[in-house]
Amino acid sequence: MTSESMELRREIAQGEARLTSDPLVAGAVHPCLDLMRSRRQTSPKRLVDPGPSEKQIHALFEAAAQAPDHGRIRPWRFVRVGAAARPDLGEAFASALRERDALAGPTQLRDARDKALRSPFLALAIARLDDAHAEIPAAERCVSLGCALQNMLLGAHALGYGAGLVSGQALHSRALLDLFGIEAGELAVCFIAVGTVSQDKPTRARPAPRDFVSSL
Amino acid sequence: MTSESMELRREIAQGEARLTSDPLVAGAVHPCLDLMRSRRQTSPKRLVDPGPSEKQIHALFEAAAQAPDHGRIRPWRFVRVGAAARPDLGEAFASALRERDALAGPTQLRDARDKALRSPFLALAIARLDDAHAEIPAAERCVSLGCALQNMLLGAHALGYGAGLVSGQALHSRALLDLFGIEAGELAVCFIAVGTVSQDKPTRARPAPRDFVSSL
């Protein structure tokens, strides 16, 4: 625990911090901030079985549904990639590689296919950037998706799993667009992967507020 | 408490859910998901004094710093609007209105100025969409900002405050760009406002996972 978080605890104990009347929320003052701080990105190659149960997956998507959504347009959707669909995803990754590099060899193609087998839970996050509701700009829609994803990442961490976001050039390939039925005006932004961490890594150093906050 | 969350609690009590070895994190399994569920958008006009203390504001920005950041490029920054700068912000809002509507009358201009006085804590969230690090697309950068904002919103709620995101046409006005020193390649996305809720509102109905999740 840092001396700063100890100080914040003391402050709250002394009653300077205001708590809500909901004891669950009040009890969460620290755990939720601690949860954010102890969360880390886990690459899908380090996410193994067991993955979240169906009930837990439902809870993660319910957490996503709590994201701010200006205009209530729900500017995103998710497509899960179940176990049976992993070979199709592998073929799409291989096709995507061939689209980028016609000379890709068998080892590279096998590596591309193998990526589809990682992480017990995998879903594609798709932003809806179509012209409907033009008053809500694309940046706000992607911010809403980010809020949804952060809730899922924190939820997975709260349930004891590792999780990570992954993107890459394959996301915008013809093969991926076809497999996932991405429509005009939609954008495949990243995969979210959730599973048991096979090999833990330390949390990375985070920027200090002074690095990204200024004042008028 | 919904029957679903009671069921999830039971499931966890029965040991199906896996907890981390960190007792703080383990204790947060429920409070953090409950915190997400009980959070709501609060408009700045319903956010009054007292606002968060300087220490709490620091904790909120530390929460923002925990956002996923592909490539570690920190694709966003914040500018706080302190009490002394509110009249300048009010003038910028009035100028922005005049940019859009040269015929705006005194009442409309006064209303525009008054908006700058709302909410004890106010900061502008700015996405950095410049050409540096072109391998990280704009959508991913805005997703990272969304993750940072969601951490701040949850953190504010955990500390007992109300909070909300606000945007509008004024964000892209010449007056705002000048006041905040928004550079080429940067985009003012929204304000985040935090304060004491003067008049509570019920949480809105959220979409059900079936409305936004499909499977391959």
Quote ipTM for the complex.
Answer: 0.86
**CB-based contacts of A136: which residues, under 8 Å, 6+ apart?**
A70, A71, A73, A75
Query: Do the Cβ atoms of B150 and A67 come within 8 Å?
Result: yes
Q: Residue range B83-110: average pLDDT? A: 97
- Å from B105 to nearest chain A CA? 24
* Mean pLDDT value across residues B114-129: 97
Residue B20, phi-psi category: left (phi > 0), alpha (psi -120 to 50), beta (remainder): beta
Q: Does B182 touch chain A (CB under 8 A)?
A: no
Contact A212 B76 (CB under 8 A): yes
User: Mean pLDDT over residues A149-166, rounded?
Assistant: 97
Under a CB-based contact definition with an 8 Å cutoff, are residues A79 and A123 in contact? yes
pLDDT in tens, B137-158: 999 999 999 999 999 999 999 9
A178-205 confidence digits (pLDDT tens): 999 999 999 999 999 999 999 888 888 9
Q: Which helix (H) or strand (E) holds A192?
A: strand A186-197
How far apart (Å, rounded) are the C-alpha atoms in residues B5 and A211? Answer: 39
Q: Among candidates B108, B76, B110, which has minimal Cα distance to B90?
A: B110
CB contact B64 to A (< 8 Å): yes
Structural domains present in chain B: 1-38 (no CATH), 41-201 (3.40.109.10)
pLDDT for residue A203: 80
Instruction: Give the whole-number percent of chain B exceeding pLDDT 90.
Output: 80
Of the partner residues A38, A127, A213, the one whose CB lies closest to the CB of residue B78: A213
- Asked whether residue A23 carries a pLDDT value surpassing 50, the answer given is no
d(CA A195, CA A25): 27
* DSSP label of A10: H
Label residue A20 by pLDDT band (50, 70, 90): very low
Count of residues in chain A:
216
Answer whether A146 sits within 8 Å of B151, measured CB to CB: no
Between B42 and A200, name the one with better pLDDT.
B42
Contact B146 A151 (CB under 8 A): no
- Has this prediction a pTM greater than 0.90? no
3-state secondary structure of B22: coil
CB B18 within 8 A of CB A161: yes
State the pLDDT confidence band at A107, using cuts at 50, 70 and 90: very high
Percent of chain A with pLDDT over 90: 80
φ/ψ of residue A80, rounded to 5: -75, 145
